[in-house]
Structure 1
C-alpha cells in the first residue's frame, strides 16, 4: 500500500507520515480494494512460490492494504497477519479473511513480538527511504525467516507512467519529490537490504496488468490510489479525474472492445536475515 514516504528524521515524523499515508490510501478504500488492488495477483503468486508460503507458514504482510495478498496466503494454508495505516482498508482485510490478525499500526514500529513470523512480505509498500521499516521486519522474522518485496520496475515498461506523471503535475512540490523517489527503489533496494541485515537471495521482474471495463472505471480506480490524494487536495477530485481521463482514454482499445488494459513491470526480491 503506502508509497509516499520521504526522509524522516525522527520517530514523530515517521508517525506523522504514516498517518498521512493511512489517510491517503483509506480515502477511497472500497475503490482501491476492488478496482485496483487485484492487479498485483501475478506478483503475489510469484513471491509466495519463491518463499514457499503454504500450510504452517506464519505470515505477515506489511502495508497490507485491504488484505488481498494475505487472503491468497490464507488460501494456501498460511496463518496470516497484516498491518496497514488505514483503518478502512483493515476493515476490508478482516472481512476478506476473518481468521487473520489484521491491525491498524505503523510499519516503523511493528506491533508484533520479535521472531513471530516465518515469512514477511510487502507488496509495493516498503520503498526508497523506508530503511527503518526493514529494521522492524528483521526483528519480526525468525532467524531463518524469509522476506519478499515488490516495487515498480523499469520506467520504459511502466504502463501506468501516464498516471504517475499526472499525479506529479498536479501535486504540491513536496509530494512531487516523494512520488519520484518511488522510481528509485530498484536502484537502492540491494543496499537497503544489506544495511538492514538481510542477504539477497533472488530477484527478478514480473508483469502485472490493470484491467477495467471502461475509462470511467479506470479513472475511479486510479483516483483511489494513495499518491492521488495530494493532487486531489490541490486541484479537486473532479479536476484531477478529468486530467486522468485525458491520458487514459487513448489507452482504450475501442476496436476490439476489451476495455482498458495497462501492463506494468514490478521488480521483486527475496532475502533472509544474515
Structure 2
C-alpha cells in the first residue's frame, strides 16, 4: 500500500505576518540601509539601498585607467555617504598606496572622513579589515585586493554583520581581460563600473563624468545596468540630464581623477 504524498500545512495569514515582522527585525538589527537617492537604483535594489552591515564588491569594467578611476570614485562616493555623520571615518586599506586624495575629495571623501591602512599582501590586508569591521567604530571599510576567495568573503560578511559596519571590497584585475567578479563570493551586491563620455556642455569644457553602473548580482533581486552621472562632492550619483529632463549640471562635478598615474 502506497502512502499518500505528504503535504505540509499552509501557514495562516497571521503566521506569515509574524514571519515578515521577524525578518524585518533581524534586517534592522544588522544595520541601516543606505539608499542611493536615485529612484531607479533604489527601486531595483532588494533592500532599497546598500546593507549597512554587509559585504559589497566593486570591479572595473576593464583594466583601463579610466575605468579604474571611475570604480575608485564610485566606492569613494559610497564611503563618503556612509561617513556623512560627524566624528566618524571610513577606513581605506590597500597594499600599494596609489590613491589621489584630491580626486577622492571631489567625490565627498575628504581627509577628515577617511583613514588609510597599508598591508604587505592581500591576506594581511583582509585580516586587518576583519578586525576593523568587528570593532564597529568605523563608518565603512574599503579594501583593494587582487585575490579574495569564497572563504575570505564569508569571513568579511560575518565580520561586517557582527560589527554592524559595511564593507566595500574593490577587486582589482589579476589577469588582463578576466573580470575579477568571476571569482565566487558571498557578497550582498557585486557592481561593475565603466567610464563613459562626459556630459556635453553648451560651451567649451569638460562636463560632469558619466559612468556605466552595472549591478552584476544581488541577493534577492535582479541584476541591472544604468548610465549615471558621476558622484558630486557629496558622493551622490544622478540620472543623466536627458533622463530627468533638466539642464546639464555644471560646477564642481568634474571627477576625471582617481588613482595617481
For the superposition of Structure 1 and Structure 2, which TM-score range results when normalised by the shorter chain? 0.3 to 0.5
The TM-score with structure 2 as length reference comes to: 0.35
The TM-score with structure 1 as length reference comes to: 0.34
Structure with larger Rg: 2
Higher helix proportion:
1
